[in-house]
C-alpha cells in the first residue's frame, strides 16, 4: 500500500507541469499535494531541489507533512512536522521530525491550502501587530498600509494583524496572510480577535475560497485571451491599424457615422474610432474588430440601391379566349326584334 501511495505522490507531482500550462516545476518551490489510494489519503508539501540527472530514474523529492502523533506511548496527541526524502527509486527516507511546530511553520503549511491539524496554532503576536487610531467613530477607516506592506515583504505563511481603534474604544480586527505568488489573503473578524487556535482553524477555509476566486479569474483571463487572439487576427485581415480610414458605418445604435478613422489601437483587437454624425463628433470607444466589421457591413447593406420592381408579364390570350365573351350574332338580332308591349312608341312607329 505504501509503495502505491508513494507512486501516486510522484505521479501527482509530475502532473503539476501540465496543470500550470506546461511551464514546468520551479526548483526549490513547495507545491501542495493531496493523494488518495483506497481508503488512505495524505497531504504533503512537495519540493524538487535539483534536476534529474542522467543516472537517476527520477528526481529526488522533499516531502513535508504535519500530522498528529504521540511523542511517547502515554503522551497526548500533538502536531508534529516530519520531513521525508523520496528517492529516485521511490524509496521513502525520513530526514527529521519536529515535535514543536512553530507559528512560522504552521503559517507556511496553512498558507499553501493544507488542512488544519488539531493543536496547530498561528499566533498573530508571533509576527507583526499594527494598531491604527482613527478620529471618526463611524465610517470607513481604511486599511493600515504598514500591515499590508509587512505582509507583502514577508515570507509565505506570515500573518500581520491589524487593529482599527475608534475614539470610543471599539476595535475592528483584520488579519493579512502572505500566500504563494505574492498574494495576500485578507481575513476580517470584526470586533472579535482570534487566538492562535481559532486563527489557524479559520485559515484553510479562507485559503480555499481565495483559490476558487483565483481559479475563476484565471479561467476568465484565458477566455479573454482567446477572444483577443481572434479579434487580432480579424484586425490583421482587414488591415485595421492606427490611422486607418474606415469610411461610413452604422454602429449598434442604428445611426450613421461618417468619415470614421481609428485613433487608438489597444493591441488586443480593440480600437477607438472617431467619426462625425451631422455637425457633431462621435467617438466609438474600445470597439472590437468584429464590431467594426459588422458596422461597416451594415452601412454597405443599407447603401445598396433598392432594385425597381419588374413589370408583370402581359397575359397571353389565344383567339378562342379573346372571343369567348362575345354575343352570338343570331341572339343579338333576335333580341332586337322582340319589343315588349309596354315599350314607349315613337312617332312613325305603328
Last residue of a domain, one of 47, 65, 100: 100
Both 207 and 297 in a single domain? no
pLDDT per residue as tens digits for the range 316-332: 555 555 445 544 545 44
Task: Number of helices (H) and strands (E) in the chain: give both, helices first.
Answer: 8, 13
Distances in Å between the alpha carbon of 169 and those of 92, 162, 327? 55, 15, 118
Once rounded to an integer, what is the mean pLDDT over residues 305-312?
69
The number of domains in the chain is 3
pTM to 2 decimals?
0.65
Task: Report the range of poorest mean pLDDT among 107-111, 155-159, 346-350.
Answer: 346-350
DSSP code, position 178: E
pLDDT for 319 equals: 53
- Same-domain pairing of 6 and 45: yes
| Strands 128-133, 159-165: pairing kind | parallel
* Long-range interactions of 268-275: CB distance < 8 A, separation 24+: 268/228, 268/231, 268/232, 269/227, 269/228, 269/229, 269/230, 269/231, 269/232, 269/233, 269/234, 269/235, 270/228, 270/231, 271/235, 271/240, 273/246, 275/246, 275/248, 275/249
User: 34-74: per-residue pLDDT in tens?
Assistant: 888 877 788 899 999 888 777 777 888 999 999 888 888 88
CA gap 234, 225 in Å, rounded = 14
- Among residues 37, 66, 100, which one ends one of the domains? 100
Mean pLDDT in residue range 281-304: 92
Please report the pLDDT score of residue 332 as a whole number. Answer: 42
Range of the domain at 13: 1-100
Phi–psi pair at 296, nearest 5 degrees: -70, -40
Instruction: State yes or no: pLDDT of 244 exceeds 70.
Output: yes
Amino acid at each position: 500500500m505504501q509503495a502505491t501511495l508513494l507512486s501516486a505522490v510522484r505521479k501527482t507531482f509530475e502532473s503539476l507541469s501540465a496543470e500550470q500550462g506546461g511551464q514546468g516545476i520551479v526548483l526549490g518551490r513547495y507545491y501542495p499535494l493531496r493523494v488518495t489510494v483506497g481508503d488512505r489519503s495524505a497531504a504533503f508539501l512537495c519540493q524538487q531541489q535539483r534536476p534529474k540527472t542522467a543516472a537517476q530514474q527520477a528526481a529526488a523529492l522533499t516531502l513535508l507533512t504535519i500530522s498528529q502523533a504521540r511523542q511517547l506511548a502515554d503522551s497526548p496527541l500533538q502536531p508534529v512536522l516530519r520531513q521525508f526524502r523520496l528517492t529516485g527509486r521511490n524509496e521513502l527516507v525520513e530526514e527529521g521530525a519536529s515535535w514543536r511546530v512553530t507559528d512560522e511553520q504552521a503559517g507556511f503549511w496553512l498558507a499553501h491550502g493544507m488542512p488544519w491539524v488539531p493543536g496547530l496554532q498561528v499566533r498573530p503576536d508571533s509576527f507583526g501587530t499594527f494598531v491604527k487610531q482613527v478620529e471618526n467613530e463611524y465610517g470607513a477607516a481604511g486599511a493600515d498600509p504598514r500591515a499590508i506592506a509587512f505582509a507583502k515583504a514577508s515570507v509565505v505563511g506570515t500573518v500581520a494583524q491589524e487593529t482599527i481603534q475608534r475614539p470610543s474604544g471599539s476595535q475592528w480586527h483584520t488579519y493579512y496572510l502572505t500566500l504563494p505568488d505574492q498574494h495576500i489573503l485578507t481575513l476580517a473578524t470584526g470586533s472579535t480577535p482570534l487566538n492562535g487556535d481559532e486563527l489557524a482553524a479559520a485559515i484553510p477555509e479562507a485559503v480555499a475560497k481565495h483559490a476558487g476566486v483565483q481559479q475563476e479569474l484565471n479561467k476568465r483571463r484565458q477566455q479573454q485571451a482567446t477572444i483577443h487572439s481572434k479579434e487580432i487576427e480579424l484586425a490583421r485581415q482587414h488591415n485595421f491599424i492606427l490611422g486607418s480610414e474606415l469610411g461610413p458605418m452604422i454602429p449598434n445604435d442604428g445611426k450613421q457615422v461618417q468619415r470614421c478613422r481609428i485613433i487608438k489601437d489597444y493591441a488586443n483587437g480593440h480600437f477607438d474610432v472617431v467619426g462625425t454624425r451631422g455637425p457633431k463628433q462621435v467617438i466609438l470607444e474600445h470597439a472590437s474588430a468584429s464590431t467594426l466589421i459588422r458596422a461597416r457591413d451594415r452601412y454597405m447593406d443599407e447603401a445598396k440601391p433598392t432594385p425597381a420592381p419588374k413589370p408583370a408579364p402581359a397575359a397571353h390570350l389565344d383567339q378562342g379566349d379573346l372571343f369567348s365573351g362575345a354575343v352570338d350574332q343570331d341572339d343579338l338580332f333576335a333580341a332586337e326584334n322582340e319589343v315588349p308591349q309596354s315599350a314607349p312608341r315613337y312617332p312613325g312607329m305603328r
